[in-house]
Structure 1
Amino acid sequence: MNFLEKITGSDMTKEMKGFEERAKALPAEYQTAWKEIQSNLWLHGDFTGRNLMPILDNALELLEVSSADGQSVEEVLGDDIKGFSAALVGDEGAKTYRDKWRDQLNKNVARKLGGLK
């Protein structure tokens, strides 16, 4: 990856297109699970989402292998795809970017209000 690709994010665009092509080969229930995993994982990404690329790749590979083995989505992921996604990024209590922004806003407001006393 060169500097221009990193700045523009074109490397990630290519990688995401590759993920989508791979996901199209999955059965319908696996494609639905893939979309749900993606939507849950993006909440835990950094500013660019670059930190999620290896996690997305591994999650998709899990779905591909499980599908080839004839397992159902429920056997592989269980009933809680959101919890599965949170476990992929580190732990069940992983904070989303919204949580981080909320914490920062609360700290800033508390600091400003504390200065008014």
Structure 2
Amino acid sequence: MKIRDIIEGKKEWRALVARVKALPQDYQIVYKEMQKYLFKVGPLELTEGTGLISGIIDLFEEGAASGKGVLEVTGSDVAAFCDDLIKDSKTYADIYQESVSQEVSKAMKKVSDKKK
């Protein structure tokens, strides 16, 4: 990654943070919780650009502009809302599950080879 890319990425991130700070307080709280959730379980592409995050902020800006409360936009189960956003994306959890399955398969193969 070039230094110019890093600088541009930081500029984009700061612009997103400024947009979040301009949202009403309830939207900011939910956004921060969603961000934590997505960074823990979220899609791999979350760290490769700002598309998903920017889309969430767009949605929140539209909701706030129309006078809706944040839970009217997301629904009361915010984690389920996040899961719907990333349902077709490969996540870190998927990679971990695959690696565990591979390790179990290797171990079982070793055991069966020893029995022969």
Q: What TM-score comes out, normalization by structure 1 length?
A: 0.77
CA contact (8 A) 1:12 1:50 kept: no
CA contact (8 A) 1:40 1:86 kept: no
Unaligned runs of 5+ in 2: none
Q: Find the counterpart in structure 1 of residue 98 from structure 2.
A: 103
Determine which of 57, 61, 69 is the counterpart of 1:72.
69
CA contact (8 A) 2:44 2:90 kept: no
Identity %: 27
C-alpha deviation, 1:40, in angstroms: 2.2
Unaligned runs of 5+ in 1: none
> 2 CA distance for matches of 1:85 and 1:71?
19
Determine which of 8, 12, 25 is the counterpart of 2:9.
12
> 2 CA distance for matches of 1:87 and 1:112?
35
Q: Which has the larger radius of gyration?
A: 2
Q: Find the counterpart in structure 1 of residue 86 from structure 2.
A: 89
CA contact (8 A) 2:43 2:92 kept: yes
C-alpha deviation, 1:47, in angstroms: 7.4
> 1 CA distance for matches of 2:51 and 2:78?
18
CA contact (8 A) 2:44 2:92 kept: yes
> 1 CA distance for matches of 2:98 and 2:44?
16
Aligned residue pairs, count = 111
3-state SS of paired residue (2:44)? coil
CA displacement, residues 36-63 of structure 1 (integer Å, 9 cap, x when unaligned): 2212222223277115x11110110110
> 2 CA distance for matches of 1:11 and 1:112?
45
Cα 1:17–1:74 change in 2 (3 A) is: same
Q: Find the counterpart in structure 1 of residue 42 from structure 2.
A: 44
> 2 CA distance for matches of 1:115 and 1:67?
58
C-alpha deviation, 1:65, in angstroms: 1.3
> 1 CA distance for matches of 2:8 and 2:102?
36
